[in-house]
Amino acid sequence: NAGVTQTPKFRVLKTGQSMTLLCAQDMNHEYMYWYRQDPGMGLRLIHYSVGEGTTAKGEVPDGYNVSRLKKQNFLLGLESAAPSQTSVYFCASSYPGLAGDNEQFFGPGTRLTVL
Amino acid sequence: GENVEQHPSTLSVQEGDSAVIKCTYSDSASNYFPWYKQELGKRPQLIIDIRSNVGEKKDQRIAVTLNKTAKHFSLHITETQPEDSAVYFCAASYNDYKLSFGAGTTVTVRA
């Protein structure tokens, strides 16, 4: 199993450009998440999904949109990139609370720079 | 929303010594407290977690303690080894899946 994968690994954008980050998981997990990681600020939840066709806002959703059309995929979109969105983006997935197992499995991350 | 504070931000210990990281949380409804470890350039990985109905949990050289009254929890690493060098994140949640993370602690184990 590949676990959680993210595409692309690196990307450089100019201010105002758009892009989509793709997250895929092959563990049949119901829940998926997008985080951003900035120095000194830990991991902050952008959006999450508790099942196919559902999405919800996290802690820092402004400037981002998401879609979960298929259970195994969770897409993060930036419609008009800003320098403040320069960050490392992590996708994660989990199976909800079965037998007390709440571990979130993270992807390898995408390093995004907005110039 | 939940606010998690983590201290210290950096920690340097001699190999073989113990390391302690402390976190406080604000939402008394939080009942799930995981700890994640992130090695340099790698993804975060769960190392241990605890629920609010348990005061302490151990797994080999790592342990976590929880004080619900004071709303704080701590990670203890004993007999530290070079492979323990990493960034450690605490988190809190009231529903098992929506995690609020602390800012992280960079642990360096000196040989």
Tell me how close the Cα of A95 comes to any Cα of chain B, in angstroms.
9
Reported confidence tier of residue A97, pLDDT bands at 50, 70, 90: low
What was the pLDDT predicted at A40?
Answer: 85
Among residues of chain B, what percentage have pLDDT more than 70?
A: 100
Please choose, from the candidates A113, A39, A106, A8, the residue with its C-alpha nearest in 3D space to the C-alpha of residue B34: A106
pLDDT of amino acid A1 = 80
A35-73: pLDDT as tens digits: 999 988 899 999 999 999 999 999 999 999 999 999 999
Rounded to an integer, what distance in angstroms lies between the CA atom of residue A18 and that of residue A78?
5
Compute the distance between CA of residue B96 and CA of residue B22 in angstroms, rounded to an integer. Answer: 20
Token pair, residue A100, equals 């007390």
pLDDT at B83 (0 to 100) = 97
Q: What does the pLDDT look like over B40-91, one tens digit per residue?
A: 999 999 999 998 888 999 999 999 999 999 999 999 999 999 999 999 999 9
Q: Hey, of A104, A105, A110, A111, which one would you mutate to test binding to chain B, going by the most B CBs within 10 A of its CB?
A: A104
Cβ burial of B11 (10 Å; 0-12, 13-18, 19+) is: middle
Helix, strand or coil for residue B83?
A: helix
Interface test with A, best of B21, B31, B98 (most A CBs within 10 A): B98
| pLDDT grade for A99, boundaries at 50, 70 and 90 | low
Q: Distance from B20 to chain A by nearest Cα, in Å? A: 18
